[in-house]
Structure 1
Amino acid sequence: MNNKFEKLLIRFITEDKENVYRLAFSYVKNAENALDIVQDSIHKALSSSEALKSEGSIKSWFYRIVVNTSIDFLRKQKRIQLVDDKTLELHSTTGEDVYHDMDLEKALEELPPNFRTVIVLRYFEDLKIEEIAEVMDENINTVKTRLYQGLRKLRVKMSKEILEGVK
């Protein structure tokens, strides 16, 4: 690895560690798993630094690694079912969810990964459309379309939940 890129990468990760952690956490919703994803992402970035084309694209390059690592982690977790459904029902609480702010988080989780990723990167990580396109390795127009479609799906989902809550 080029020593200059290694120092630049280490400086970036050190300065932006909260945002990187928050991005990983937005996928897995678990502190330990998010830390594991960040650690794996750092390892992948250090071992594949030759893929970094320029110093200016380090943020989007590293964010892409974090997003892909998070998605890979979630795919692996879907294959593992630690508890059967009956056991889960027995141990779960039966009361209604009293936290109304959780509706947005729940609705976001129900979106397909491509839509959720665009929305999280745009509104929670405050990336520009061009940066999101770079992170996702997609065309800018594709990112815009996914953003608007994702927001529309989110709006529909949220309004349905509000209407169901009124009944």
Structure 2
Amino acid sequence: MTQKSLLKKAQKGNEKAFVELLQHEKLKIYNMAYLYMKNENDALDVVQETVARAFASISTVKEPAYFSTWLTKICINTALESIRKKNKIIYMEQPITEIVNEPAIDEKLDLLEAIEQLDEKYKAVIILKYYQDLPVREIAQLLQCPEGTVKTNLHRAIQQLKKYVLKGGSHYGEQY
């Protein structure tokens, strides 16, 4: 069954069609939630809330081709709302580099740490562009801003990440 026909059925209240639509998106949504929440339980909570919100508002999807983008936007907004509500800070007794000694893992952790240091607007475009592999046009639609703003934010985010990596990482309060 095509995505278009599944979407039409889901919009008429067919739960099976909705579940089938989600089957194609579930891993992508979980990964997005995990990137924001940084732990499995919170990510699963965000996914659950995303699915509930998506089911409740499935009738608002106008174009089947944008179902994935629409669902991703709900996931991002749900994750950001959850972060704001919890406003939690995780303190680690020892640095991550002492816990993990494998170089490849260290590099990935360094990049994730650098991305975590970015402002939300920069973090969002980096995640959508390089983790979700979305084109600038779709990112602009998803974030409801002009394509030029997305390009500018991508450029600035990459510049900040370069500075962060070249400085060997910065700590709280330091500027890149």
On whether the aligned pair clears a TM of 0.5, the verdict is yes
Tell me if structure 1 keeps the 8 A contact 2:46–2:78. yes
For the structure 1 residues 94 and 140, does the alpha-carbon distance in structure 2 shift closer, same or farther, using more than 3 Å as the test? closer
Match among 134, 145, 151 for residue 141 of structure 2: 134
Partners in 2 of 1:94 and 1:47 — Cα distance? 42
Match of 1:93 in 2: 94
User: Within the alignment, does 1:152 sit opposite 2:153 as a pair?
Assistant: no
Amino acid at match of 2:24: E
Matched residues, number: 156
Matched, 1:44 2:53: yes
**Contact map agreement 1:61 1:134 (CA 8 A) in 2:** no
Post-superposition shift, 1:23?
Answer: 0.5
Question: Which consecutive residues of structure 2, in runs of 5 or more, have no partner in the other structure?
Answer: 1-6, 171-176
2:121 match: 114
TM-score (norm 1): 0.82
Aligned mates of 1:105, 1:120 — CA distance in 2: 10
Query: Residues 30 and 43 of structure 2 are in contact (CA less than 8 Å); yes or no, is this contact kept in structure 1?
Result: yes
Q: After TM superposition, give the deviation of residue 100 of structure 1 in Å.
A: 2.7
Q: Report which of the two has the higher share of helix.
A: 1
Aligned residues with identical type, % of pairs: 26
Question: Which position in structure 1 is the counterpart of 2:174?
Answer: none
Gaps of 5+ in 1: none
Instruction: Give 1:9 shift.
Output: 4.3
Higher relative contact order (CA 8 A, sep 6+): 1
**Paired residue for 1:12?**
21
